[in-house]
Structure 1
Amino acid sequence: MSDILHRLPEFIGNHPFLSFGFIAVLVAVIAAEVGRLGRGYKALTPAGLTQLINKNNALLIDVSSIQDYEKGHIPGARHVAMSQFDPENKDLAKAKNLPVAIYCRTGQTSSTAAKRLKKAGFADVYTLDGGLRTWTEAQLPLVKGRSAS
């Protein structure tokens, strides 16, 4: 181990771009992890979301466009367009102390909605990591049409 530490300055001197690249990647990974821990909500896999729904009776919200929702959504999901998404809505505010899981088609829009819920004081907020795409890749069921199951 001490031999490695003695040769480290020589390696850095001989390979400055490789060394700086390693440091940049290390800083990026640390920043991403700190950001993930500080965001306040948890990302779930399709299996994790299924467990949350079955065991904790989570409120499931789809913030996709109405066209995407009608093409297929998770059974039991309620549609709320992102343009109309309001964490202070009286119906949604009733769920402040319940687990709330949000998803969209790709997972990008649902992250914004999850941040808004956490900021509004919701206790347990979750997103489906990768959105509905990961749900369908896991070959889990979808419901078509407007009405939630």
Structure 2
Amino acid sequence: MATQQLLDFAANHYLLVGGFILVLSLLIQDIISGGSGKDTVDPSGATELINNEEALVIDVRPAADFNKAHIINARNIPMSGFAGQIDSLRKYQERPLILSCNSGAQSASACRILRKAGFSRVFNLRGGILAWQNANFPVSRKRK
């Protein structure tokens, strides 16, 4: 009886059930891939890497967003052409690379691309530029 009710509910609310399954699968994927593990840094950790190990910050947002505000000395390589720019980053392969976007989601994808290309010291800025600004860390508004 309960199984039939569950099936009726799912049939009547397929969008709700589909959304739930999508969110659940994304949550499981994040847990499995270690979404907040050793390969992410918060703004304080990023500052330590920048100051102590000369980390390079790569902002993967579109140029228009980058020009509004970005981490000082960050390099803009938008996600739309990111895979084609990997060779230009080879000279920085031994340095830590911190990838940033608006909230940390797109930069996580860029991190995966770089790791597959053989980069070992790649970090995602947890929370992106929003977390950076919320921590009251300085940004630049200069166009590059």
TM-score (norm 2): 0.74
Q: 2: CA distance between counterparts of 1:62 and 1:29?
A: 25
Matched ranges for 1:1-149 at <5 A: 32-36=30-34, 42-86=39-83, 89-147=86-144
Structure whose alpha-carbon radius of gyration is higher: 1
Structure 2: any 5+ residue segments left out of the alignment? 1-25
Decide whether aligned partners of structure 1 residues 56 and 63 sit closer, same or farther in structure 2, where only a CA change above 3 A counts: same
Alpha-carbon shift at residue 110 of structure 1 (Å)? 0.2
Decide whether aligned partners of structure 1 residues 30 and 135 sit closer, same or farther in structure 2, where only a CA change above 3 A counts: same
1:83-135: per-residue Cα shift (whole Å, max 9, x none)?
11137643211122221110001111100000000000001000110110000
1:12-52: per-residue Cα shift (whole Å, max 9, x none)?
xxxxxxxxxxxxxxxx9887543207x99611110000000
Q: 1: CA distance between counterparts of 2:55 and 2:72?
A: 12
* 8 Å CA contact 1:41, 1:125 repeated in 2: no
Tell me how large the CA RMSD over aligned residues is. Answer: 2.5
Decide whether aligned partners of structure 1 residues 29 and 145 sit closer, same or farther in structure 2, where only a CA change above 3 A counts: closer
Q: Identity of paired residues, percent?
A: 35
Alpha-carbon shift at residue 145 of structure 1 (Å)? 2.7
Alpha-carbon shift at residue 65 of structure 1 (Å)? 1.1
Moved more, 115-124 or 92-101: 92-101
- Counterpart AA for 2:140: V
Q: 2: CA distance between counterparts of 1:30 and 1:86?
A: 26
Decide whether aligned partners of structure 1 residues 92 and 134 sit closer, same or farther in structure 2, where only a CA change above 3 A counts: same
- Counterpart AA for 2:75: R
